[in-house]
Structure 1
Amino acid sequence: MLTVLLASLVAVALLMVATALLARRMGRVVIVDATWGFGFVLVALVCALVGDAGVRWLLLVMVGLWGLRLGRHTLQRLLATDEEDPRYAELLDGKPYSFAVTRVFLTQGLAMWFVSLPVQVAAVTETRWTWLVVVGVVVWAVGLVFETVGDAQLSAYRARPRESRPQVMDQGLWRYTRHPNYFGDACVWWGVWTVGLGGGLVGLATVLSPVVMTYFLVFATGARLLEKTMMKRAGYPEYAARTSMFVPLPPRKVAVS
C-alpha cells in the first residue's frame, strides 16, 4: 500500500509542477481546472499499474470515464476565451506568482491526492463484499449521468440566442437542482468510495475523501462560490427560491406577492 500511496503522490506532484509551468507561460492560472479531471485519471492509472487487486481495473474505467470527460469539457470551455477566470484574478490580484504556486497548485495537488485515496487503497485490497461494488457502480453511474446531461443541457442553453432563451437555465435537470453537475461529481466519488468499501473495513478509513470532495463542491470552490456571482443576475434569485441548491428535489411553490 505504501508503494501505491507514494507513487500516486509523486505522479500528482509532477503533474502539478507541469501545470504550474504551463500556467505561467500562458498567463492563466485557470488551466489548473482542466488538470483536475485529468489528474484523477493519472492517479487511477498509476494505481492500476502498481496495485495488485482486481478491482483496480474497474476503478480505472470509472475514474477514467469521469475524469477524461470532465477534463475535456473544462479544457474546451477554457480555450474558448483567453481571459483569466475572475475567481483566480481576484485571488491573485497584485500577488507574486509564488502565491499561486502555494495557494492554487500545491493546494489542489494535495486535495487531488487525498480525494483519490479510496482508489489508492482499493488498488491493494481484494474485494470481500461484491454487492457493495455493485452499489458503488450504480451510484457512480447516476453521478456520471447527472454531470454529463447537466453540462450538455447548459451548453445547449448557452448556444441559444439570448432573446429566445429564459433568463436562467431552469429546464431539464436544472429544474430540480441548481447544480446538477456538482451533484453528479459528488455521486461519482461516493460511488468510487463504495466500490473500495467492498474490500472491507480498510475502505471505511477513506470516508473523509468523498466528504472533502463534497465539501469542495458545495461550500469551498463549487456551488456556494458560484452562487455569489449568479445571485446578481436577473431572474436568478427567483430561480433559487424555488429550486434546490444541490440535492435534486421537486421545485418549491413560491407565493407571488
Structure 2
Amino acid sequence: MNSTFWAALAVNLAAAAGASLAVLLVAFAVGSARRLHRVVDVAWGVAFSAVAAVGYFLSAGQGDDTRRLVVTLATCVWGLRLAAHIARRGRGHGEDPRYEKMLAKASGNRTLYALRTVYLLQAALVWLISLPVQAAQYVPTPAGVLTWAGLGVWATGLAFEAIGDHQLARFKADPAHHGRIMDRGLWSWTRHPNYFGDFLVWWGLYLMACATWQTALLCLISPVVMSLLLIRGSGKRLLERHMAGRPGYAAYTARTSGFVPRPPRRQTARTERP
C-alpha cells in the first residue's frame, strides 16, 4: 500500500472517531435526560452505521467502488437492524440491570461516571472494532474472492442474529411461556444464536478488508476484540451468570452448545440401582 492510502486512512480514522463520539454523546444526553442509560445499546448499532457512512463518502475516488458499497451496506444493515431490534425490545422497560449494577459502583457523580465508563468506552470500542470497515473502503484493488467470501460469512451471521432475535421475541410474547427457558429453533442448537451471528458478522467484515496483507494485519484486532466481548466480556458470560439460577437452565446448558451451533445432545434417563 502506498503513502496516499495511509494518509487517506488516517484522515478517515479521525473522522470515524468524531462520528462515533457524536452518536454516543447524543445517546448520553438522551440517557441522562431520561435517566435510562440502556439507550446506549441502541446507539451501538447506530454508531457503526455512522462510521460506515462517513467512510463511504470520504473514500470516494480512492477505494474500489464495489468493495466500498458492499462493506458500507453490510455494516449499515447490520447496525440499524440491531438498533431497531434493541429499541423495540426495551420499549416500556426500566434500566438494564447491567447498567444499574455498574453505576452502583460510582463513588461520585453517577452521570459523569456513566459518561466515562459506558458512553466514552463504547465510542472507543466502535472506533476500534470498525477498523475493517474503514480500511476496506480505501483498498484500491478490485473486489475478489475474499470480499465475496466475507459477504457470505456476514450474511450467515446476520441470518443467525435476526432469526434468533425473532424467535426469542415470539417466544416471550406468549404468556404461556412465562418463566420458561427458550430452547426451540436456533436456540436448541446454540444458547446464543444472536451472539454467534454477531461473531460471524465481524469476521465476515474482516475478510472484506483482507485484500492486502497490510490491511489483514492492521484489522485483525477488530474481530478478535469483538469475539472476546461476545464470549468473555459483556455478552455470553454475563447473560449466563444472570440466567444460571432459573429453573431448567442447568438442563438446557447440558444439552445445548454454549456458542458454536450443533445438534442438541440427547438426554438419557438416569436410573437408580436398587
| TM category, shorter | over 0.9
Report the AA paired with residue 266 of structure 2.
Answer: K
Aligned partner of 2:144 in structure 1 is: 130
Deviations 1:48-103 (A, max 9, x none): 0101312121111101111111000001112232x111110011016222111111
Q: Distance in 2 between matches of 1:202 and 1:90?
A: 39
Per the alignment, residue 227 of structure 1 pairs with 240
Q: Which moved more, 1:33-42 or 1:91-100?
A: 91-100
2:54 matches 1:46: yes
Structure 2 counterparts to residues 183-198 of structure 1, below 5 A = 183-198=196-211
Distance in 2, Cα, partners of 1:129 & 1:140: 16
Say which is worse superposed, 12-21 or 41-50, in terms of deviation: 12-21
Tell whether 2:149 aligns with 1:149. no
1:178 has 2:191 as partner: yes
Question: 2-side partners of 1:204 and 1:169: how far apart?
Answer: 39
In the TM superposition, residue 123 of structure 1 has moved relative to its aligned partner by 1.4
- 3-state SS in 2 of match to 1:29: coil
- Of the three residues 117, 127, 130, the one matched with 1:103 is 117
Q: Matched residues in 2 for 1:129 and 1:117: separation?
A: 18
Of 71, 88, 108, 2:83 maps to: 71
1:13 aligns with 2:13: no
The structure that has the greater radius of gyration is 2
String of CA shifts for 1:162-213, please: whole Å, max 9, x gaps.
26x7821111111100000000011001000101112443233211101101
Distance 1:250 1:94, change over 3 A: closer
Alpha-carbon separation, structure 2, partners of 1:58 and 1:202: 17
Counting only pairs closer than 5 Å after superposition, residues 200-239 of structure 1 correspond to structure 2 as 200-239=213-252
Aligned residue type for 2:97: P
The worse-fitting range, judged by mean Cα deviation, of 119-128 and 39-48 is 119-128
Query: Which position in structure 2 is the counterpart of 1:242?
Result: 255
Structure 1: runs of 5+ lacking an equivalent:
none
- Residue identity matched to 1:64: C
Unaligned runs of 5+ in 2: 1-8
Answer whether contact 1:131 1:198 (CA < 8 A) is retained: no
**Distance change (3 Å), C-alpha of 1:94 and 1:135:** closer
* In 2: Cα distance, 1:166 partner to 1:10 partner: 43
In the TM superposition, what whole-angstrom CA distance separates every residue of 1:118-151 from its partner, at most 9, and x where no partner exists? 1111111123560001110000000010001001
Contact 1:135 1:191 survives alignment (8 Å): yes
Aligned mates of 2:215, 2:232 — CA distance in 1: 28
Partners of 1:76 and 1:100 lie apart in 2 by 23
Q: Distance between the aligned counterparts of 1:65 and 1:154, measured in 2?
A: 20
CA contact (8 A) 2:128 2:222 kept: yes
Q: Secondary structure at the residue paired with 1:205?
A: helix
Q: Structure 1: which amino acid aligns with 2:48?
A: F
Contact 1:45 1:60 in 2 (8 A): yes
Deviation beyond 6 Å, 4+ runs, structure 1: none
1:92, 1:100 within 8 Å by CA — same for their partners in 2?
yes
Question: What amino acid does structure 2 have at the position aligned with 1:38?
Answer: V
> Matched residues in 1 for 2:243 and 2:15: separation?
40
Give the TM-score of the pair, scaled to structure 1: 0.95
